[in-house]
Structure 1
Amino acid sequence: MDATIQPASRPISSWKIFLTVLGPGLVVMLADTDVGSVITAAQSGAQWGYKLLLLQLVLVPILYIVQELTVRLGIFTGKGHGELIRETFGPAWAWVSVSGLGIATVGALLTEFSGVAGVSELFGLPRAVGVLIAAVFLLAVVWTGSYRRVERIAILLGLFELVFFAVALAARPDPHAILAGLAHVPLGNSEYMYLVAANIGAVIMPWMIFYQQSAVADKGLRPEHYRHARLDTAIGAVLTQAVMAAVLVATAATLGRSNPNAQLDTVGQIAHALTPFLGTDWGSVVFSLGILGAGMVAAIVVSLAAAWGFGEVSGYRHSLENHPQEAPWFYAIYTLAVIVGALAVIFIPNLVTLSLGVEVMNALLLPLVLGFLIALAIKALPPRHRLRGPYLWLVLGVSAVTAGLGVYGGLSSIPGL
């Protein structure tokens, strides 16, 4: 992969270095709060009030621990996730890993384009028109841009998610009810545990790991950028969970009080349910901006993760610094992912109801995803930067508990289990 950050000829202040390094962590975290995550958070608040708010806070350090390993691997090996698995454990395991990525990519793209379709229908535009406009935009961004340009556009799109903070404030949550919800965690309830699994799967996803490690390598970050790249990841982890918490608080303060059984499987249903509390025009417009930002940045990240992942495993050129003629398969995979996702949502409208199921599927994939990540951090890194000592046991413990809760919550909803 070609480096886009060149060695400095004279000393540069720390904040300027940080601004140069800033990007992979922030982009992947903004994409983390995608349409499926927003719907999951909304249903969590509507059905359980503030009882799942504590989970959003607990997931901040867990998310950072996981994604920091991708930064470490990308910087100190200079290789993407799939490529490193292939070189360390062999092609067969690499294809196992990228197969999980492919499954997660399909599910994610269905939710992203479903969000775009929902916004289109909310304002009287045929879903096909809205989805096709979004697909053409996504293709144009990647086919005509370098890594740096794609990253900047992704950040700009993702920042629209900040409107969810305004939505939460407008809902006027009760501080006493929030504190009461934080103290009540009904772990014995299977429906609650299903949403626990969905929230975990909405925060730690296979494509995030592939994307950030590949982006770090494609951007050309080096060991001297490690400290700033970790800060980039930490800021992103706090921001994405704050957005999730804002959506949960908004629905808990409104629907959680008045209509906890409201159907919230689509963007339109959430917007219409919040309208009485936020105002007809203001509520719909602001909520739609957040959804569009979430869906579009996630669609870019998910599709690029797939293109990078399959490129790294199969060996074809896989960098945004290569022109389409130089890396035809890379751009072909990206294009195929976008087109298939868009067409599926256009012709099979009821796919929008799969949002929670997609997040639970991500949770069920966690043992595979986290297992590969930790194994690489133990074996593939230079000795000085490998996981070892107390931190290794911390990472193993956090990963085991997180993956265990995700799998348990997902399986607990299956009758007879």
Structure 2
Amino acid sequence: MSQLVLPQWLSAGRLRRLAATLGPGLVVMLADTDAGSVLTAAQSGAQWGYRLLLLQFLIIPLLFIVQELTVRLALSTGKGYSELILQRFGRCWAQLSCAALVASCFGALLTEMSGLAGVGQLYGVPVWQSVALVAGLILLMVCSGSYRAVERVAMLFGVAELAFLYMAWQARPDLQHIRQQALDMPLHDASYLYLLAANLGSSVMPWTVFYQQSALIDKGLDLRDLRAARLDTMLGAVLCQLVTAAVLIAAAAVFAGHGGVVLDTVPELADAFGRVLGPLAGRLLFALALSGGALVATIVVCLSAAWALGEMRGTRHSLEQHPLQAPWFYGAFALLLLAAALTVVFSHSLVRLSIATAVLNAVLLPLVLGFLFWLARSELPAGLRLQGRYAVAVGILFLLTGGLGLYAGVTGALHG
């Protein structure tokens, strides 16, 4: 019997290296489909039907381009995003970038914790108990594991988000309505612009850029892993936006004929999705899917802030180090997590908080994309540097995206 011979590009060694490389891109994109993204997409579908659906697919190439540049920077320089900004632009700009990141991270954590507390309320669990349990488990996991262990747990949580794809299918969306509304974009309407900005800001976020760059370094990858890391990023970007689109489709189908619906709480959303699969199954699937994204995002957001703050201090840190070896790193992680937990315990959970946080991210897009563009132009080696026609195309895309996010966010906030 003849022996099966694999092509060179599909050799056992390459497959093992590919499997070892996959992770940072998928994790950061699963975190991107967090509680804020889910609540924003649900509100978009409930209020505007399918009029923001096309945007979800247009965001896929933008997401990939942004995160792929962080892959190049990480694997070629071995330095984190904050470290490169500090090196290239100086302490003042690095502090501004870090402040924007921390603001974005804290807003995201409030959203994640509020979403998880809302899920607990569905089953009669008091807010403080839900928040304390989540904070305690995440601290225990991070302090007792390595990066790879944390990554595996995060991916396990993220798998629950696939439930949204099933819910969209079961919602039986009307294809004629999708065709009619998908290209109908009322850009003159301030409330539409506000949600457009929120959808942009819940997809391209400062902490996704910081996280993936630092995660690749912490995982010990190098330029030999570039192709696999790009594939990892592309898979993550597609999956992220498919899940977000599924949430919007399900919400639009549920609220068809009830335009202008404003959702305020997680239980309201759960009840709405319960109409698709029945009260018990609908609530359970929604709770699992929302919790999965929120848990992944909580881990990613805290790590992003801790890594960035450490880079600002010139402190090298890693999840491979024991907490006693890197007290500042683990302390920053715990402080941010606990501050968000306490804030949620003593405040109310609203969908509007998630949307406002996403709009803040959209307003920050010019800063985030501007730094990323110039770092890719100046800090990469010749073979990987952003240059030529691709650089022009990326520059135009970043300029249009940043301008749209800033305009839509400010206009929607002022006139909505």
Shared fold (TM-score, shorter chain, > 0.5): yes
2:391 counterpart of 1:384: no
Q: Matched residues in 1 for 2:183 and 2:23: separation?
A: 36
Q: Matched residues in 1 for 2:276 and 2:163: separation?
A: 16
Amino acid paired to 1:262: V
What is the CA distance between 1:351 and its match in structure 2?
Answer: 5.6
Q: Which residue of 2 aligns with 1:109?
A: 109
Q: Matched residues in 1 for 2:301 and 2:264: separation?
A: 21
Q: Which residue of 2 aligns with 1:325?
A: 324
What is the CA distance between 1:352 and its match in structure 2?
Answer: 5.1
Q: Which residue of 1 aligns with 2:230?
A: 230
Q: Map 1:115-154; keep pairs closer than 5 Å.
A: 115-154=115-154
Equivalent residues of 1:127, 1:346 under 8 A apart: yes
207-216 or 83-92, which deviates more = 83-92
Q: Matched residues in 2 for 1:259 and 1:334: separation?
A: 43
Amino acid paired to 2:275: P
Q: Which residue of 1 aligns with 2:292?
A: 293
Amino acid paired to 2:93: W
2:32 counterpart of 1:32: yes
Q: Matched residues in 2 for 1:274 and 1:258: separation?
A: 16
Equivalent residues of 1:47, 1:261 under 8 A apart: yes
Q: How many residues align?
A: 406
2:71 counterpart of 1:71: yes
Q: Which residue of 2 aligns with 1:3?
A: none
Equivalent residues of 2:48, 2:260 under 8 A apart: no
Deviations 1:249-274 (A, max 9, x none): 0000111x143333323221111122
Runs of 4+ displaced beyond 4 Å: none
Cα distance, 1:352–1:132 mapped onto 2, change above 3 Å: farther
15-24 or 222-231, which deviates more = 15-24
Aligned-residue sequence identity (percent) comes to: 51
Amino acid paired to 2:180: A
Deviations 1:264-307 (A, max 9, x none): 23221111122233211000000000011011000000000000
Equivalent residues of 1:162, 1:290 under 8 A apart: yes
Q: Which residue of 1 aligns with 2:7?
A: none
Q: Which residue of 2 aligns with 1:263?
A: 262
Equivalent residues of 2:114, 2:349 under 8 A apart: no
Equivalent residues of 1:110, 1:352 under 8 A apart: no
Deviations 1:337-390 (A, max 9, x none): 111111110111246531110000000001111111111111111122110001
Q: Which residue of 1 aligns with 2:221?
A: 221
Cα distance, 1:327–1:224 mapped onto 2, change above 3 Å: same
Q: Matched residues in 2 for 1:219 and 1:350: separation?
A: 35
Amino acid paired to 1:99: A
SS in 2 for 1:383: coil
Q: Matched residues in 1 for 2:160 and 2:282: separation?
A: 14
Cα distance, 1:12–1:93 mapped onto 2, change above 3 Å: farther
Deviations 1:79-108 (A, max 9, x none): 111111112222222111101101001100
User: What TM-score does the superposition give when structure 1 sets the normalisation length?
Assistant: 0.95
Q: Matched residues in 2 for 1:389 and 1:337: separation?
A: 41
Amino acid paired to 1:74: A
Equivalent residues of 1:265, 1:355 under 8 A apart: no
Equivalent residues of 2:161, 2:288 under 8 A apart: yes
Q: Matched residues in 2 for 1:415 and 1:86: separation?
A: 34
Q: Map 1:39-50; keep pairs closer than 5 Å.
A: 39-50=39-50
Equivalent residues of 1:307, 1:333 under 8 A apart: yes
Amino acid paired to 1:400: L
Q: Matched residues in 2 for 1:283 and 1:196: separation?
A: 27
User: What TM-score does the superposition give when structure 2 sets the normalisation length?
Assistant: 0.95
Q: Matched residues in 1 for 2:17 and 2:247: separation?
A: 33
Deviations 1:303-338 (A, max 9, x none): 000000000111123211111111110000000111
Q: Which residue of 1 aligns with 2:85?
A: 85
Cα distance, 1:56–1:168 mapped onto 2, change above 3 Å: same
What is the CA distance between 1:57 and its match in structure 2?
Answer: 0.4
Equivalent residues of 2:147, 2:218 under 8 A apart: yes
Q: Matched residues in 1 for 2:291 and 2:330: separation?
A: 23
Unaligned runs of 5+ in 1: 1-10
Q: Which residue of 2 aligns with 1:349?
A: 348
Cα distance, 1:282–1:416 mapped onto 2, change above 3 Å: closer
Q: Matched residues in 2 for 1:250 and 1:348: separation?
A: 29
Q: Matched residues in 2 for 1:76 and 1:180: separation?
A: 46
Q: Matched residues in 1 for 2:119 and 2:349: separation?
A: 15
Q: Matched residues in 2 for 1:378 and 1:58: separation?
A: 24
SS in 2 for 1:413: helix
Amino acid paired to 1:63: L
